[in-house]
Amino acid sequence: MERIALPDRRSLALDGRTWAEVSLTTLRENFRVVQQHVGPKVAICAVVKADGYGHGATECALALEAEGTPWLGVTDAAEGRALRSAGIWTRILLMTGIWKGEEDGIVSHNLTPTIWETWHIERLEKAAKKQQINLPVHLKVDTGMNRLGASVEALPQLCDKLALCHHLHLEGVSTHFASAEVLDAEDAPRQMKIFEEALAVLGQHGLYPPLVHIGNSAAVSARPETWKTMVRPGILLYGYSLPVMRGGSAVSEPSLPLVPVLTWKTRVLTVKDVAAGEAVGYMGTYITKERSRIAVLPVGYADGYPRLLSNRARVIVRGEYAPVVGRVSMDLTMVDVGHIPGIAVGDEVILIGSNNGKSVDAVELARLGETVPYEILCGISQRVPRVYA
């Protein structure tokens, strides 16, 4: 993915490409909002996996490191190594375990692995011994997601295994919520209960890890009882806080004063006058009802603008909304601009962002595209340059 510093923004705008503007200043402000919300005694593991949720992992990690985050969360060792190669030395948590053969690199790059299998312990102990390093690890407990982690029943065996190690120490223990934002969900209190049982088992084996973390973004927003000694905000840092739900309906809008970090823009490629009764785009899914002006945008599903937004979404051009008409194709999207005077080739178009009191965000696109805002942001493709400010 092309990274472009702010001084190049003018030349970027002139060539007509689609681009995304990422405000690292806003990212740092959002971090401060989250830290103030959870309080100074709760550490933050700032999640920058999946290329920083599409914002650029290296740039976001550098900004968050400068802001003082004690931890960064990534998916795997490959993402962790990439950050180390960029000169980032903040603690990095590998949240989805390890693959066989990665253990030497994990130790040498000072990465902190999440474990839940006996072979994780065996291989990491061997690697740490070879390099004469005392390696901290975090244990993941499966409390009901049935995805990653050890069951409570498996913990005694893991504790015994850890007790035999001379080069590993248990620094943290974690789990993950299935539906933390749903206040009346039965699974959340059940998961909490199971997690407390797991902590008790660890205590029975003399293990009291200082970092206890359950809270993802949803739990940071809605469940202060889950904050423990560390939280793992992801999408919150990028400016999105999902509504708190009860009984299948939102009971409150997001309360944290967060601002979206990313603005996605393109430009008008061409403008066509189309007669009434004409089909627009593949399969003719949109028929003009009257003489129309159609602006063609150089963005499509290859850029991460979902095909499901066809005939559903809207963009902002010259401070006004313009509806998407016809099928979103691989490289092009059409919008009806007949109600907006003066539209011309090169006009800036906002796909995600705000202008003139109007706004389109990833939550809106996710609702229209029958998905979640995470996928909208992560889905902005590698061919869309990111411009950093």
| Side chain identity at residue 54, one-letter code | G
> Which pLDDT belongs to residue 304?
98
**Residues 116, 218 share a domain:** yes
Q: Residue 243 burial by CB count (10 A; 0-12/13-18/19+): exposed, middle or buried?
A: middle
pLDDT tens across 332-352, in order?
999 999 999 999 999 999 999
Q: Where are the alpha helices (DSSP H) in the chain?
A: 9-14, 24-38, 49-53, 57-67, 77-85, 103-108, 118-130, 155-163, 187-204, 217-222, 362-368, 373-378
233, 308: one domain: no
Q: Is pLDDT at 8 greater than 60 in this prediction?
A: no
Residues 294, 305: Cα–Cα separation, whole Å: 18
Q: Are residues 233 and 362 in the same domain?
A: no
Is 240 considered catalytic here? Answer: no
DSSP per-residue string spanning 216-227: -HHHHHH-GGG-
Boundary-marking domain end, from 208, 225, 252: 252
pLDDT of residue 372: 93
What is the DSSP-derived secondary structure letter of residue 360? E
For strand 168-174 and strand 135-140, is the pairing parallel, antiparallel, or unpaired?
parallel
Q: What is the pLDDT of residue 250?
A: 59
Domain CATH number, residue 322 = 2.40.37.10
| DSSP per-residue string spanning 82-102 | HHHHTT--SEEEETT---TT-
Query: In total, how many domains does the chain have?
Result: 2
pLDDT in tens, 43-102: 999 999 999 999 999 999 999 999 999 999 999 999 999 999 999 999 999 999 999 999
Set 130, 208, 272, 282: catalytic member: 282
pLDDT > 80? residue 38: yes
Q: Which of 49, 161, 228, 265 is catalytic?
A: 49
**Whole-number average pLDDT of the chain:** 93
Q: 3-class SS at 187?
A: helix
Tell me, yes or no, if the pTM score tops 0.85: yes
pLDDT of the residue at 7: 44
Read off the pLDDT band of 14 (50, 70, 90).
very low
Q: Do the Cβ atoms of 56 and 86 come closer than 8 Å? A: no
Give dist(CA 78, CA 67) in Å, integer: 24
Q: How many Cα atoms occupy the beta-carbon half-sphere of 8 within 13 Å?
A: 12
Domain span including residue 277: 262-388
Instruction: Determine whether 286 is an active site residue.
Output: no
Integer Rg of the chain from CA: 24
Q: How confident is the model at residue 247 (pLDDT cuts 50, 70, 90)?
A: low
Same domain, 65 and 173: yes
Cα gap 219→176, rounded to integer Å: 10
Question: 272 and 243 in one domain?
Answer: no
Backbone angles phi, psi at 230, to 5 degrees: -155, 150
